A and B are shown apart, each in its own frame.
Chain A
Amino acid sequence: MTARVVHYLNQFFAGLGGEDKADTPPGVKPGAVGPGRKLQELLGADAQIVATVYCGDDHAAAERGAPAAIVQLIARERPDIVVLGPAFTSGRYGVACALVAAAAQRAGIPAIASLHPDNPGLDDAGAAIVIASGASVREMGPSLERIAQAVRKRLAGEPLTDADGRIGKTPRKNVLATDRSALRAVDLLLARMKGDKGRTEVPVPRFDRITPAPPVDPAKARVALLTEGGLVPQGNPDRLESARATRWLRYKIGEKTGLKSGEHMSVHGGFSTVWANQDPHRILPLDVARELEKEGAIGELFGEYFVTTGNGTTVPNARRFGVEWAAELRRAGVQAAVLTAT
């Protein structure tokens, strides 16, 4: 029996256009498209690409609910497996492939994403399988060969390992140890002191190092105010989480020159909110930002602020918020932002 494969591509590889088409909403084309044609050749008769689902990079990475909408289109094709990419080192495309792969996997559709090991999307792939691609489109051929081999193995129910180019995280699951943590800590300390220096229960994580963008002239810039301090309208009408945030919100500041106590509150669970609620400018400095705008020290203040809660928020969620904020701000013509952290 021929297995049904759905292929996910961005607007560029689906043949719709470049950056100017990055806002394209999700859509479907029948059969294999672009790099999918070569992939179909490599897959042979055992597997058929029945449809190609595509979405613009900005839309997929920044539009809330986009991954879920894309997974719906994929599911409609009743696939045995979904293949995403290769996205090489492309940031938004990689994040989109990873988020859609993770959502598909959660929905019970086996997913294989193809990303370069340095792609920032790697940590967003959740429980989906990620196979290493090359760094750029010049390595399309070998990248597709690795995908084809992985698809064949996955469909045959064989495990995929480093030897297949598998990258990304192995899930860490909660288990009950025989001994309680205090005892294990003393044992580990004595073992390390006896020479087993590398022993640890927690692998040391690696983090992205961000190179700041070059400075802009503030007097000419449109400046946005952003915060992870959980500042929302009184009563928290949109139910921002007080910890472990999975989303962010945006609120209009329009022409306001300040924020009044009693009209705004912080829902952040990581600090005493008494002083923030007394004077919301302690979280979001709208008052001084307006003064600077009036003095001409900054060009113009953006008419909305973005907010989330940075308390117990996972790194992949925080990274996703960052990607979404950057895309939104770029779309709004903002050149600089002040992000207050608590």
Chain B
Amino acid sequence: MHGLISHPVHRVALGGVTRYENGLLTVDERGAQVAFRDAALASVRVTWASPGDSVRIIKVLDAVEPRTKGPGPDGGGIFPGFVGPARPQSGGAPAHVLTGVALITAGYLPRAQEGLIDMSGPGADLSPFGSTHNLVIEFTPAAGASWEAVDVALRTGLLTLANRIAQSALGPSRSDHPPVRPSAASLPRIGAITNLQTQGTFKDVFVYGKSFARERPLPIDAHELFAGAVVSGQYGHPALKNPTYVHQNNPVATELLKRDGKDLTFVGVIISPEPVDQAAKEQISAQAAQLCADLKMDGVVLTKEGGGNADADVALKMDALDTLGIASVGLFAEMGGPDGTAPPLVVPPDRATGMVSTGNYDELVTLSAMERALGGETVDVLSAPATAPLTAPTAVIYCSLSPMGAGRLTCREVVQ
């Protein structure tokens, strides 16, 4: 049985025991630290940052939503390949979700481009994580540990902790998703292609625990995504990245599932790598389009991760789908310069021109001073103290231009 069971969190605290009761989530501070026990880490600190707090989280790495599918260390198969066994979990229990909460790692890693989240002020509306209760995990690497080992330890710890915290909500309850009923044959058959940015260590995405870099496009059940089959290790382009949290909540799949049987038939999701060279991009794009045709899709929504070259992975697939007579819409962030007058895209589709804008990467935003910062003391990319008022491109705000469609930002023409 598939499905999701939501447990809303309204208040949070640190305490001696991890417990979820009447909307209050208490996290055992020592227990949280134990989840990160690893030879590569000297210590970790955990702190809550809640909406409205005068807090800026900087050097944000991954964000994960607490989820589990059952008791025990394997969590009933949650996060397959990391916590649960590395295989599809179809037929497993529904996933229990603590909604309104994110677990966030923050601190220096090489190659990580600095992203920030403001919990109050004008920046809070721009990141999906400005309105979640965030358990921030800061870390000190062990002397002599390689950065690669630190990255692995942080990812393993974060997923382990997400399972353990969610287990506090286990118990009998009803699934959010009613059983799927066969939908009317006349409705258009719609699917999704989710591109994953796969460019090596610190810029990689994992599927069932393994890098997806050399893989082919793969059809995957949306509930596999909801159970954490896709995990992010990609720390480039903070505004244009897809943390694990967003994969767990795949916004397009969620939307299609919600409308399945109403105004469309949801066929399924195809995940695809974003290879680095042009020939591979063209080959993978043709293969993904062919899979959509094999699955008899009439229309496809496409998403990506990253900037410029990742646009090609969407545009090539849209044109390949057009060749096969399949309609498409792609989500793109604009790179229109600070004043919004430059060409919005570098690699647009030639023929299939249905595009949704997730906002302009370059537009400057002014952020308020904060009382406290987590994740570090300076925003190095702006050479500024972490708590200072900042003027920065939208590109530095974590997930502000969510290419998977998690945000509300878009662009409109404004006549002077």
In Å, the complex CA distance between A179 and B358 comes to: 11
Select the residue from B201, B337, B344, B360 with max chain A CB neighbours within 10 A. B337
Q: Are A178 and B408 CB-contacts (below 8 A) given A186-B301, A202-B355, A314-B335?
A: yes
Q: Mark A157-187, 1 if CB is under 8 A from B, else 0.
A: 0010000000011111111111111111110
In Å, the complex CA distance between A178 and B91 comes to: 36
A123 near B341 with CB under 8 A, answer: yes
Select the residue from A176, A182, A315 with max chain B CB neighbours within 10 A. A182
A201 near B356 with CB under 8 A, answer: yes
Q: Which residue of B lies closest to A319 (CB)?
A: B342
A171 near B339 with CB under 8 A, answer: yes
From A169, A174, A242, A312, contact of B409 by CB (8 A): A174
From B259, B354, B362, contact of A314 by CB (8 A): B362
Q: Mark B330-358, 1 if CB is under 8 A from A, else 0.
A: 01101111011111111011000111111
Nearest chain B CB to A124 CB, angstrom units: 9
Asked whether any CB of chain A lies closer than 8 Å to the CB of B390, the reply is no
Nearest chain B CB to A165 CB, angstrom units: 16
Q: Are A311 and B307 CB-contacts (below 8 A) given A170-B414, A242-B113?
A: yes
In Å, the complex CA distance between A185 and B314 comes to: 14
B409 near A172 with CB under 8 A, answer: no
Q: Which residue of A lies closest to B188 (CB)?
A: A193
A202 near B332 with CB under 8 A, answer: yes
Asked whether any CB of chain A lies closer than 8 Å to the CB of B77, the reply is no
B343 near A315 with CB under 8 A, answer: yes
Select the residue from A177, A178, A192, A242 with max chain B CB neighbours within 10 A. A177
Chain A interface helix/strand/loop/mixed = loop
B354 near A181 with CB under 8 A, answer: no
Q: Which residue of A lies closest to B254 (CB)?
A: A182
Asked whether any CB of chain B lies closer than 8 Å to the CB of A199, the reply is yes
Select the residue from B113, B259, B308, B358 with max chain A CB neighbours within 10 A. B358
| Segment of B7-15, B130-138, B283-291, B399-407 in the binding face | B399-407
Asked whether any CB of chain B lies closer than 8 Å to the CB of A126, the reply is yes
A244 near B362 with CB under 8 A, answer: yes
B329 near A185 with CB under 8 A, answer: yes
> Could you list 4 further interchain pairs (A-B, Cβ under 8 angstroms) beyond the known A159-B415, A198-B353?
A123-B342, A201-B410, A243-B307, A269-B113
Q: Which residues of B contact A312 (CB under 8 A)?
A: 237, 307-308, 335, 361, 395
The A-contacting residues of B in range 168-206, CB under 8 angstroms, are 188, 190, 199-203
Asked whether any CB of chain A lies closer than 8 Å to the CB of B100, the reply is no
Asked whether any CB of chain A lies closer than 8 Å to the CB of B276, the reply is yes
Q: Are A193 and B301 CB-contacts (below 8 A) given A174-B363, A269-B113?
A: no
What are 20 A-B pairs at a CB distance below 8 A? A102-B339, A123-B343, A169-B342, A172-B340, A173-B360, A173-B363, A176-B410, A180-B407, A181-B406, A189-B301, A192-B329, A193-B327, A202-B334, A202-B355, A202-B356, A206-B343, A244-B395, A272-B111, A272-B200, A316-B341
From A170, A178, A316, contact of B415 by CB (8 A): A170
Nearest chain B CB to A245 CB, angstrom units: 12
Q: Mark B248-269, 1 if CB is under 8 A from A, else 0.
A: 0001101110010001100000
Nearest chain A CB to B332 CB, angstrom units: 6
Q: Are A189 and B327 CB-contacts (below 8 A) given A123-B343, A174-B360, A244-B393?
A: yes
Select the residue from A102, A172, A177, A184 with max chain B CB neighbours within 10 A. A172
The B-contacting residues of A in range 60-95, CB under 8 angstroms, are none
A177 near B409 with CB under 8 A, answer: yes
B405 near A314 with CB under 8 A, answer: no
Nearest chain A CB to B278 CB, angstrom units: 11
Select the residue from B190, B299, B408 with max chain A CB neighbours within 10 A. B408
Q: Which residues of B contact A169 (CB under 8 A)?
A: 340-342
Q: Which residue of B lies closest to A178 (CB)?
A: B408
Asked whether any CB of chain B lies closer than 8 Å to the CB of A215, the reply is no
Q: Which residues of A contact B340 (CB under 8 A)?
A: 169, 171-174
Asked whether any CB of chain A lies closer than 8 Å to the CB of B319, the reply is no
B251 near A180 with CB under 8 A, answer: yes
Asked whether any CB of chain B lies closer than 8 Å to the CB of A225, the reply is no
Q: Which residues of B contact A190 (CB under 8 A)?
A: 188, 190, 263-264, 299
Asked whether any CB of chain A lies closer than 8 Å to the CB of B359, the reply is yes
A186 near B335 with CB under 8 A, answer: no
In Å, the complex CA distance between A193 and B340 comes to: 30
Select the residue from B190, B353, B393 with max chain A CB neighbours within 10 A. B353
Q: Are A184 and B356 CB-contacts (below 8 A) given A174-B394, A175-B411?
A: yes
Nearest chain B CB to A291 CB, angstrom units: 26
The B-contacting residues of A in range 190-225, CB under 8 angstroms, are 190, 192-193, 198-207
Number of interface residues of A (CB under 8 A): 55
A126 near B339 with CB under 8 A, answer: yes
Select the residue from A102, A129, A206, A314 with max chain B CB neighbours within 10 A. A314
Asked whether any CB of chain A lies closer than 8 Å to the CB of B50, the reply is no
Nearest chain B CB to A155 CB, angstrom units: 15
In Å, the complex CA distance between A276 and B186 comes to: 54
Q: Which residues of B contact A311 (CB under 8 A)?
A: 307-308
From A125, A181, A204, contact of B405 by CB (8 A): A181
Asked whether any CB of chain A lies closer than 8 Å to the CB of B294, the reply is no
Q: Which residues of A contact B200 (CB under 8 A)?
A: 272
Q: Which residue of B lies closest to A194 (CB)?
A: B188
Q: Which residues of B contact A270 (CB under 8 A)?
A: 236, 307-309
The B-contacting residues of A in range 108-162, CB under 8 angstroms, are 123, 125-127, 129, 159
Asked whether any CB of chain B lies closer than 8 Å to the CB of A251, the reply is no
Asked whether any CB of chain A lies closer than 8 Å to the CB of B244, the reply is no
Asked whether any CB of chain B lies closer than 8 Å to the CB of A188, the reply is yes
Asked whether any CB of chain A lies closer than 8 Å to the CB of B416, the reply is yes
B414 near A179 with CB under 8 A, answer: no
Q: Which residue of B lies closest to A271 (CB)?
A: B199
Q: Which residues of B contact A272 (CB under 8 A)?
A: 111, 199-203
In Å, the complex CA distance between A240 and B264 comes to: 49
Q: Which residues of B contact A182 (CB under 8 A)?
A: 251-252, 254-255, 301, 331, 404-406
B236 near A172 with CB under 8 A, answer: no
The B-contacting residues of A in range 92-111, CB under 8 angstroms, are 102
Q: Which residue of B lies closest to A125 (CB)?
A: B341
Q: Which residues of A contact B408 (CB under 8 A)?
A: 176-181
In Å, the complex CA distance between A129 and B341 comes to: 12
A175 near B412 with CB under 8 A, answer: yes
Nearest chain A CB to B80 CB, angstrom units: 24
In Å, the complex CA distance between A123 and B336 comes to: 11
Q: Mark A240-253, 1 if CB is under 8 A from B, else 0.
A: 00111000000000
Q: Which residue of B lies closest to A180 (CB)?
A: B408
